[in-house]
Structure 1
C-alpha cells in the first residue's frame, strides 16, 4: 500500500475535499517521485516503505501518463519495486526504496497494470483496474484493514498510473 501525505507533516492522508480533482501528475526530482493535486497548490509526498520522498516546487520535471510495473527484488521475497514502463530515463533506480506489497491472489502477475487510487478514511490504497487489491506487509504501521473495501461509503478518486 502507498500512503500519501501533505509535505512537512507527520500525518498520513488528506481529507476528502483535498483529494478531489486528483490528476495523477507525477514529478521527478533526481531519483524521487511525488504526486500533485490538480485542484490546487497542494504538493504531496509519497511514502515508499518507511522513506518519505521530499519534493520542492520548481525543482521537479513533470511528466503525465507514465505507466508503472511492479518487479520483484531479487533475493528479497515479498519486496516489489515500482519501475517506469514507458520512460526509461524517468525510472526508479536500483537504489530506490522498495515497496513491500501483498497481492490478493499470489498467482497474478503485477506488470503493466493500470492502477486506481482508493480512499478509505485517511488511507490511500492502490487497486489494479483488473481487480487485484494491494496492501502493505501486515503489521506495518502503514497498513489499513483490507476488509469492507466495497462499502459504498468509500470514495473513488480519478485513476492515475503507477
Structure 2
C-alpha cells in the first residue's frame, strides 16, 4: 500500500466513525438508519475502501453501547459486504451486499443483544434491512453516482 492508499483508508474510516457518532442515538437499535452506511458503496470504486470501512465500523461500534459482539460481528459483516460490493458488476448493484449482509448478520445478533425475546428474529432482520436499504440505496447510490460524475473525486476514490 502506498501512502495515498493509507490516507484514503484512514479518511474513509474517520468519516464513518465521525458520522456514526453524530447519529449514534439512531445507529444502535433494531430499528436504525445508520447514515454512514451510505459509504459502503465505496468499495465499488476502490478496494482501499474495504479496510477503511471495516476499521471504521470496528471503532464506531467500540464507542457504541452494544459491546464486543457488535464490534466483531459488525466489522465482519462490513468486511464481507465490502468484498462483495467490490465485485459487483453494475453501479446499481453496489448497495445490495451491505443491505443483505447486514440484514442477516446484524439483524441476527441484535435480536439477541437487545433481548428482543417477544419479537421474531425475522422482524429484526427486516427492520435492519429496511434501514440499510434507505442508507445504501437512498443515500449511498446517489453518493456513488455523484462521485462517478466528479473528476476530482474519481481521482481520489478511483483505482490507479
Place the TM-score, normalised by the shorter chain, in its bin.
under 0.3
Which structure is higher in RCO with an 8 Å CA cutoff and minimum separation 6? 2
Q: What's the TM-score once normalised by structure 1's chain length? A: 0.27
* Structure with the bigger percentage of strand: 1
Q: What's the TM-score once normalised by structure 2's chain length? A: 0.27
* Structure with the bigger percentage of helix: 2
